[in-house]
């Protein structure tokens, strides 16, 4: 490089070097914002990427921490997971986050709920994922559970609701309910059993041997 009239200019050697570097690709002439992407090597750090190009998941402890989020922490398109509630939100309006203009000449002390949109899934998906659901949270429950007509084997019946033994003996009537009929039968059997006299073993043996004399 030589100086001509107070101005530094390239000499022949400098021009030759410039041309050589342009030919081998080590020197690219043009505007900085026109550098071809193919000519960029290495890894671009995240701080040099525009925020809109990054979608992130931010985890916070509770809703208070969610409403305290600022534009420096999250941006439109990010997702927020709240540990205490298990809910997830998408940031849909980062101008409503904490620290942003509140529209009254000040800054928002906390984010407005309109900055967030809760992710939602269908009821079937929620039911499939639920480990337990409180009875009070079940909707459209029937007021009564009327059983359909069906039968049971006798061995399956262990008790009858409302059953009581009849107070006195009597005949079973066609109009009796099952409980009433069984109650009468039990009372009748009890009465008959009370009038039966046991037979001595010797008498039974005599009858068997044919030597019994009723006189």
Which residues have C-beta within 8 Å of that of residue 156, sequence separation ≥ 6?
Answer: none
Q: What is the pLDDT of residue 200?
A: 74
Least confident of 137-141, 167-171, 173-177, 206-210: 206-210
* Cα angle 75-77-79, degrees, rounded to a multiple of 5: 90
DSSP 16: H
Q: Which residues contact 109 (CB under 8 A, 6 or more apart)?
A: 98
* Model confidence pTM above 0.95: no
Structural domain spans, the chain: 2-39, 51-125, 159-215
Compare 67 and 156 and report the one with higher pLDDT.
67
42-68 tens-digit pLDDT: 777 767 776 666 668 999 999 999 999
Q: How confident is the model at residue 158 (pLDDT cuts 50, 70, 90)?
A: confident
> Residue 57 — φ and ψ, nearest 5°?
-105, 120
Residues 6 or more apart in contact with residue 190 via CB below 8 angstroms? 165
Q: Please, are residues 22 and 29 in contact by the beta-carbon 8 Å criterion?
A: yes
Question: How crowded is the C-beta side of 88, counted as CA atoms within 13 Å?
Answer: 11
User: Contact 89/63 with Cβ under 8 angstroms?
Assistant: no
Tell me the torsion sign for CA atoms 137, 140, 142, 148.
negative
Q: How far apart are the first and last CA of the chain?
A: 159
Task: Give pLDDT, residue 80.
Answer: 95
Confidence at residue 151, expressed as pLDDT on a 0 to 100 scale: 87
């Amino acid at each position: 490089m030589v100086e001509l009239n107070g101005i530094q200019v390239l000499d022949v050697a400098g021009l030759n070097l410039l041309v050589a570097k342009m030919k081998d690709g080590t020197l690219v002439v043009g505007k900085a914002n026109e550098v071809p992407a193919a000519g960029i090597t290495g890894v671009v750090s995240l701080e040099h990427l525009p925020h809109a190009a990054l979608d992130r998941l931010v985890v916070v402890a509770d809703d208070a921490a969610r409403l305290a989020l600022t534009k420096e922490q999250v941006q439109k398109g990010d997702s927020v997971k709240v540990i205490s509630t298990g809910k997830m939100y998408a940031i849909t309006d980062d101008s409503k986050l904490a620290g942003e203009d509140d529209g009254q000449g000040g800054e928002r002390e906390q984010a407005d709920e309109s900055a967030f949109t809760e992710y939602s899934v269908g009821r079937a998906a929620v039911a499939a994922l639920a480990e337990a659901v409180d009875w009070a949270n079940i909707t459209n429950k029937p007021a009564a559970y009327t059983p359909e007509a069906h039968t049971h084997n006798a061995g399956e019946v262990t008790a009858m609701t409302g059953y009581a033994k009849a107070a006195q003996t009597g005949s079973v009537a066609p109009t009796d309910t099952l409980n009433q009929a069984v109650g009468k039968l039990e009372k009748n059997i009890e009465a008959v059993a009370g009038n039966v006299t046991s037979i001595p073993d010797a008498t039974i043996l005599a009858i068997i041997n044919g030597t019994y004399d009723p006189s």
